[in-house]
Structure 1
Amino acid sequence: MRAQDISALVSVGRPVLAPDGAFAVFAISRPDLDANRDVGQLWRIDLPHGTPRRLTRGIADSSPRLRPDGEVVAFLRADGKGRPQIFVVRAGGGEPVQATDAPLGVGGFAWSPDGATIAFSARVPERGRYGSVEGLDATAEAPRHITGIRWHANGLGYIGDRPSQLFVVDAPDADAEPFYAPAAAVRPEGEDAPKPRVVAVDAEQLTHGTASYGAPVFTADGGELLAVVDEIEDAARDLRSRVAAVSVDGAGKRAVLERDAGLAVNEVAVAADGTVFLLAHEVGAAGRDFVAPGVGLWLLAGDGLRLLTDVESVDLGEVGSHIGFDGDDVLVQDRTRGRVRLLRVTRAGEASEVLGGDVEVIGHAAAAGHIVAAVATPTSFGELLLVGEGEPRTLTDFGARLREAGIMEPVERTVTGRDGYPVHGWVVTPAGDGPFPVILQIHGGPYATYGIHAFDEMQVLADAGYAVVYCNPRGSAGYGRAHGRSIRHAMGTVDFTDVIDFFDGAIAADVRLDGDRVGVMGGSYGGYLTAWVIAHDHRFAGAIVERGFLDPVAFAGTSDIGSFFGDEYVGTDPQAIAAQSPFAVVSQVRTPTFVLHSELDFRCPLEQATRYYTALKRQSTPAEMLVFPGENHELTRAGQPRHRIERFAAVLDWWDRYLPAR
């Protein structure tokens, strides 16, 4: 595939199933170059043999949730000001009706058990901020008084002056008469013209104060909402979560889980019988140990917490991983060796595989004996599968355009490293006999993973004539907690040798790979390790350091996770930090280096790039820098499509100059 073919990267979101299993609803999303944004709609497919069809025709409809009776779908759609609001539509189709008018848009939401109301979370702006006063722009707002350890978040910005609160709203009638704008008229003196309405009733705010509340979940009786509570700490980051139950009738709230439980909670889910389950991980006595977190499935009962999965071997922490229910059993997503499989877990803690093989499960749903799963595969960015007895059946073919664009399927390899440790990864090679120049790609995280899904980064490089080598070194996810924790306070050690040993082993195993023409690149933690590699290994013709974690000292005071990330990964001793810091060894870099970054990256702030680039220039190392306006840390995954294309063009131009393929 070529850069412009990113429009063929159609992803499938978490599906929902009708209570009788008769149909599924799901959202798709893809980059659109002309619109310069991600676009997508809701789709419906009747089971088991229906044909997928569009249910809505919005620009970017997402997050469908079926009313408990299966007759109506609630979903998120941007309103006229670009704010995500809840809309409802008949499950068979029709014109959606707007249900909310939140000033800064809606976060998570849920139907009540009786289908009469919808609960949601939404950020509430401090008076005078974020357009709450007409004509007052951001530059004229009052200064922000910050007293806590956190003040901003990547992809959002400031957080203390817009906490997320819980609301409930009566679900609108999906067949209701639409609203009409009032016509101009002469009115009695002092009487204002009526404002056009967009919702039938205003939402009721249930929580107040400075704490933020996560996506709400109704209790089985519908009387309370369960939500994770986030409070900005005064002095030190504390990852331990509180879960509160908030009464929907305004009677107050109660604690369901306190911080002394020692858990960071990713998700709360309630089974039909009222049992509460959590996706969560232990964070240690200090509340900050998040390295290779070991996310597990927990049952929260009257007699306390019970862990149902083995966190040393089962990892439920993949982005988008969630809890589903199939009768009394729980469905969860386990990432392992570049795949994400679907597991069934009983309340006794017995786990069995429901869907495995060469898939990455993105989301799932179960009802009336049916299970559907949204997955990515080596030849598709997203499909919907029907899972049952026998082989899973693919219900969609969104990957057709991607296959037409051209996909080189990766070859999976395991290389034994210098210390005997097995390093697992893949090689993508262009068509032909070679010899091909080789690029070593390094993933972010570090507790993340390269997987088997079709990946535009590798495919675009392969189309341009490069072999691409990539692996999951120690520090990565999907190989057990010991693998992930092995670089804690030891970054740039076994992770460095693992990527180099895999690189050398892959080249040795394939005569088409030219070991004399090589480059290296990576983003985030991959940017860190790329910068570390070129300070210690000078064979590479060029390097690309993207959105990197490059200076742990500066990171602590600038990143949205700076108050704990560096402390946990590189420690707090100055000498130990320096021994793991790319900035401390930048003087050793001779490799021509291209530094890529985004202006609004608050995860690895722009200062990380500018300091590193300046150091390279001062010592006369060939270096260039490219900074993307309006983008954050997610540029390569969720940035403006035109910026993504421009980034690919810059990457290919760099390699054409320093590592020409032809």
Structure 2
Amino acid sequence: MNKNTVKINDIFNIKSVATPKVVPNSDRVTYYVTRIDEEDNAYYTNLHQYSGNGNMQLTYSKERVSNLVHSPDGGLTLFIAKGDNDKPQVFILRERGGEREQLTNEKYGVSGATFCNGGSKVYYHVTVPVDEKDEEDKDMDNSKKRPEPVVVDRMKYKSDGRPGPFGSVEPAFRQIKMIRLDSREVTTVKSGEENFTLYETVRGGFVYATDKSDNPDFNFSQKLYIRLNGEDTEIIRPDGNIISVVKNKANTHLLITAMDRKYENATHVNLELYEMSSGKRVDLTGKLDKPVGDSVVQDVQQSTEGSPATWVNDEEFVFLLSDDGSVNLWKGNIDGAIEPLLEGRHNIFGMDANSDAVYMTISTPVSPSELYKFDLKSETLIQLTEINKEYIDKTELVDPEDISFESFDGTEVHGWFMKPANNDTGKTPMVVNIHGGPHTFYANTFFHEMQVFASLGYAVLYVNPRGSHSYSQEFVDAVRGDYGNGDYKDIMAAVDFILEKHDFIDEDNLFVTGGSYGGFMTNWIVGHTNRFKAAVTQRSISNWISFRGVSDIGYYFTDWQIKAGIDDLDTLWKHSPLKYVDDVETPLLILHSEYDFRCPIEQAEQLYTELKYREKETQFVRFKEADHNLSRTGAPHLRVARLEHMTNWFNKYLEQ
């Protein structure tokens, strides 16, 4: 049977299966299925459930649900969806059936909801503006409202991904509230000029964190507390960020997933065990020299939630570990023993467990995502869903070849190489695709964009240069202070390796692209070599001097990554691709989002202006109402347009 080639519009045919959650005291597990509706230009996420009788869909509305949590007895399921006031609110479904019930009606919406330990109450977050306007002003017709000035007193005043053209500059703080299920009485539990985050509920209280600091602009850590019977006790640990906290059913131990600041944002995430009675805390995974959880780069997995670690019973637990381009399943116990449980050429991006099995959503290079069950007794893996089976069966997908090679200094670098879908070994053009971060990583996972290039007759090369996660701490830290040197040489060594290994690759038809840090590297490459026929830079960085002052993370990111501030202009300029604009001879397409506050669009504007000023071959495409995450979660029609611009640019310069 002739199969279809991968098309750009296939994003409307690929579904994301994510976030398995075991229903307590049952044989059931719930999960999300997200689809992209082409006509509505929207993402829709619905609840599904698997039991011994098979799979069934629980919700059908055209909406996005999130924050799926089951009550301790399994009788209730809560989730967050848009409520009566068009803001996200908590809803509950009863196991015995009936319509969903809207539990909250918060003016600013809610986030992060969970049941208390006994299941009679629900805790949730609300984020409230510091200068809260009165109700009369809030209810005024929008046509009559006038813009108000916003007074800014902090450097952390905007954030990419928040709605609107200014990245939500209005100061606001996150509170913890609680609602009783019987009376619907609401109580504010934690509030103030600090951001509270509730991570877990325990018998007699809960575990939470706060970012309170005397110098909030330079505070990049949370302090973790456990509140029992109204008294707060700090869980003493190094400065850093908390990812998740999960208790065992006996309420004796906590699993804490966290990242300290030894290497700033390049630090590995580790798993810690905390004994509640003694306050003893043990690092379980630091000795592995691999990060817990994942920071995989992909473009089809939606609505991924949950903890990278969970309990199987009161003494044993399972967790996810990133290892050499895969995300694998490990197990451990309260004695500190850990060992691999399921390793393979895959990306486990969601996981929950009970005493019998671990339920996981898994992606591979040729499978977008499905739900699986790993039986703990037999240690066998069983596929439970076939959501994407029809698409896979009808589509010609390329399974990439794993590659490893030595870079310029003997460092081993790992990556993947895809032949074109038609498997033509005549003279073949090749696209080099560079990930962002830099502390993310390419993985053994499905990547629609790569498959599109392969379907158009391009070979595709994508590697994890130094700075990428899933390898050693030394490897991920090696890029800091060295942008454009070792990382650049790793990518060029990858190109040389493939050209030597595969003589059918046409070295006169090489192309390069990348986004964010990958956009920086694309800009750097075209300023340092003419090996590539054409290039596409996306959401990129061109000038570290201005980036420091305009990015939502600029002032500390340049400190951490370039290791220089405004008092060291020479270093910032040395690592800026804009410095080398005179040397650019490669036709460069510049793609950038209007509402990108991570890498603001002025970075693209500077690069475009200087290229045009020098009469270089370039073009600038601006994406309205899009932010830094365009390629992953942006408006579907803009995601399609982005890929069309990229492939058209490469095809334009391709010599047949």
Question: Which TM-score applies when normalising by structure 1?
Answer: 0.89
Corresponding residue to 2:54 among 51, 54, 72:
51
Q: Deviations over 1:153-204 (max 9, x none)?
A: 11122265221111111237xxxxxxxxxxxxxxxxxxxxxxxxxxx83632
Q: Evaluate the alpha carbon distance shift between residue 256 and residue 652 of structure 1 in structure 2; reply closer, same or farther with a 3 A threshold.
A: same
SS at match of 1:529: helix
Residue 422 (str. 1) matches residue 412 (str. 2): yes
User: Which of residues 194, 214, 217 in structure 1 aligns to 2:197?
Assistant: 214
Q: Is 1:394 the counterpart of 2:398 in the alignment?
A: no
Q: Distance in 1 between matches of 2:526 and 2:327?
A: 32
Closer, same or farther: CA 634–306 of 1 in aligned 2, 3 Å: same
Is residue 2:50 matched to residue 1:34?
A: no
**Corresponding residue of 1:306:** 282
Equivalent in 246, 269, 281 of residue 295 of structure 1 = 269
Give the C-alpha shift of residue 644 in structure 1. Answer: 0.6
Is residue 2:21 matched to residue 1:16? yes
Aligned residue type for 2:241:
A
Classify the secondary structure of the residue corresponding to 1:206: strand
1:127 to 111, 118, 132: 132
8 Å contact 1:471–1:502 — kept in the other structure?
Answer: yes
Q: Distance in 2 between matches of 1:338 and 1:515?
A: 27
Question: What's the counterpart of residue 592 of structure 1?
Answer: 587
Which of the numbers 464, 471, 494 marks the counterpart of 1:479? Answer: 471
Which of the numbers 172, 175, 183 marks the counterpart of 1:162?
Answer: 172
Distance 1:129 1:496 in 2: 54
Among candidates 237, 242, 245, match of residue 265 of structure 1: 242
* Residue 325 (structure 1) aligns with: 311
Q: Does 1:550 align with 2:535?
A: no
Choose from 103, 122, 132 the match for 1:99. Answer: 103
Instruction: Give per-residue Cα distances to partners, 1:16-75, cap 9 Å, x unaligned.
Output: 11223411011121322112111121101104xx32110111222233211111122111
Deviation at 1:312, TM superposition (A): 5.5
Moved more, 336-345 or 201-210: 201-210
Give 2:593's aligned amino acid. S
Look up the equivalent residue of 1:567 and give its one-letter code. D
Give the secondary structure class of the aligned counterpart of 2:138: coil
Contact between 2:429 and 2:510, CA under 8 Å: does it hold in 1? yes
Q: Deviations over 1:305-351 (max 9, x none)?
A: 32111265221142455221111223221111221111112223221
1:25 corresponds in structure 2 to 30
- Which among 201, 209, 218 is matched to residue 228 of structure 1? 209
Query: 1:224: how far off?
Result: 2.2
User: Partner letter of residue 152 of structure 2?
Assistant: I
For residues 80 and 303 of structure 1, the distance between their equivalents in structure 2, rounded to whole angstroms, comes to 44
2:510 aligned partner: 518
Residue in structure 1 matched with residue 401 of structure 2 by the alignment: 411
Give yes or no for contact 1:40–1:61 (8 Å, CA) kept in 2: yes
Partner SS for 1:432:
coil
Q: Is the 8 A contact 1:103 1:124 kept in 2?
A: no
Please state whether the residue corresponding to 1:614 is helix, strand or coil: helix
- Of the structure 1 ranges 7-16 and 450-459, higher mean CA displacement relative to structure 2 is found in 7-16
**In 1, Cα distance between equivalents of 2:181 and 2:42:** 30
**3-state secondary structure, aligned to 2:611:** helix
- Other structure's SS at 2:271 match: strand
Q: Secondary structure at the match of 2:492?
A: helix
Q: Is the 8 A contact 1:107 1:215 kept in 2?
A: no
> What is the count of residue pairs matched by the alignment?
622
C-alpha deviations, 1:393-437, integer Å up to 9, x for none? 110112224312331111111122232222211112221323221
User: 2:544 & 2:249 partners in 1: Cα distance?
Assistant: 47
From the superposition, tell whether residues 380 and 449 of structure 1 become closer, same or farther in structure 2 (CA, over 3 Å).
Answer: same
1:180 matched to which residue of 2?
A: none
Over 3 Å counting, the alpha-carbon distance change for 1:13 and 1:159 in structure 2 is farther
Q: Which amino acid aligns with 1:16?
A: K
**2:611 aligned to which of 611, 616, 632:** 616
Deviation at 1:459? 0.8
1:3–1:438 Cα change, 3 Å? same
CA distance 1:497–1:323, shift in 2 (3 Å): same
Alignment of 1:181-200 (within 5 A): none
Q: Corresponding residue for 1:149?
A: 155
* Separation of aligned partners in 1, 2:423 and 2:134: 58
CA distance in 2, matches of 1:546, 1:634: 11
**Partners in 2 of 1:233 and 1:582 — Cα distance?**
37
- SS of the residue corresponding to residue 495 of structure 2 reads helix
| Identical columns (%) | 26
Contact 2:211 2:221 in 1 (8 A): no
Distance of 1:413 and 1:151 partners within structure 2? 43
Distance change in 2, residues 1:129/1:475 (3 Å): farther
Range 131-140 or range 603-612, more displaced: 131-140
Q: What amino acid maps onto 2:273 in structure 1?
A: L
Root-mean-square deviation (CA), in Å?
Answer: 2.3
Deviations, residues 59-117 of structure 1 (Å, cap 9, x unaligned): 22233211111122111222255422211112365421111122232211111122111
- In the alignment, is the contact (CA less than 8 A) between 2:247 and 2:311 conserved in 1? no
Separation (CA, whole Å) in 1 of partners of 2:455 and 2:395: 10
**Given residue 162 of structure 1, which amino acid in structure 2 is its aligned partner?**
A
Q: Which amino acid aligns with 1:242?
A: K
Aligned mates of 2:143, 2:416 — CA distance in 1: 49
**Cα distance in 2, alignment partners of residues 92 and 632 from structure 1:** 42
Amino acid at match of 1:316: V
Which residue is equivalent to 1:183?
none
* 2:543–2:573 CA contact under 8 A, matched in 1: no
Q: Extract unaligned runs of 5+ from structure 1.
A: 173-199
> What letter corresponds to residue 225 of structure 1 in structure 2?
F
Secondary structure at the residue paired with 1:16?
strand
Comparing 492-501 with 130-139, greater Cα deviation is found at 130-139
Instruction: State the TM-score, normalizing by the size of structure 2.
Output: 0.90
Q: Is the 8 A contact 1:18 1:367 kept in 2?
A: no
- Which of 369, 373, 386 does residue 360 from structure 2 map onto? 373
**SS in structure 2 of the partner of residue 152 of structure 1:** coil
Letter in 1 for 2:37: D
Amino acid at match of 1:306: V
Change (3 A) 1:564 1:493: same
Q: d(CA) in 2 for partners of 1:445 and 1:268?
A: 25
Rounded Cα–Cα distance in structure 1 between residues aligned with 2:246 and 2:537: 40
The separation in 2 between residues aligned to 1:273 and 1:67, in whole angstroms, is 16
- Say whether 1:636 aligns with 2:617: no
Letter of the 1:100 counterpart: T
- CA distance in 2 between counterparts of 1:485 and 1:410 reads 27
Asked if the contact 1:152–1:159 (Cα under 8 Å) also holds between the matched residues in 2, the reply is: yes
Post-superposition Cα deviations, 1:582-636, rounded to whole Å, max 9, x if no partner, equal 1222222111111111111111111111111112111111111111111111100
Partners of 1:420 and 1:530 lie apart in 2 by 24
In structure 1, the partner of 2:221 is 240
Contact kept? 1:294, 1:312, Cα under 8 Å: no
Task: Say if 1:160 and 1:210, in contact at 8 Å, map to a contact too.
Answer: no
Would you say the 8 A contact 2:223–2:239 is kept in 1?
no
1:84 corresponds, among 88, 95, 108, to: 88
Distance 1:587 1:255, change over 3 A: farther
1:93 and 1:609 mapped to 2: Cα distance? 53
Residues 1:564 and 2:523 are matched in the alignment: no
Does the C-alpha gap of structure 1 residues 422 and 2 become closer, same or farther in structure 2, counting only changes over 3 Å?
same
Q: 1:488 aligns with which of 457, 460, 480?
A: 480
Distance 1:564 1:459, change over 3 A: same
1:351 aligned to 335, 338, 342, which one?
Answer: 338
Task: List per-residue Cα deviations over 1:424-466 (Å, max 9, x = no partner).
Answer: 1111222132322111100001011001111011011111221
Q: For residue 368 of structure 1, what is the amino acid of its counterpart?
A: S
2: CA distance between counterparts of 1:233 and 1:377? 46
| Kept after mapping to 2: 8 A contact 1:118/1:169 | yes
Structure 2 Cα separation of the partners of residues 517 and 656 of structure 1: 10
**Contact 1:559 1:605 survives alignment (8 Å):** yes
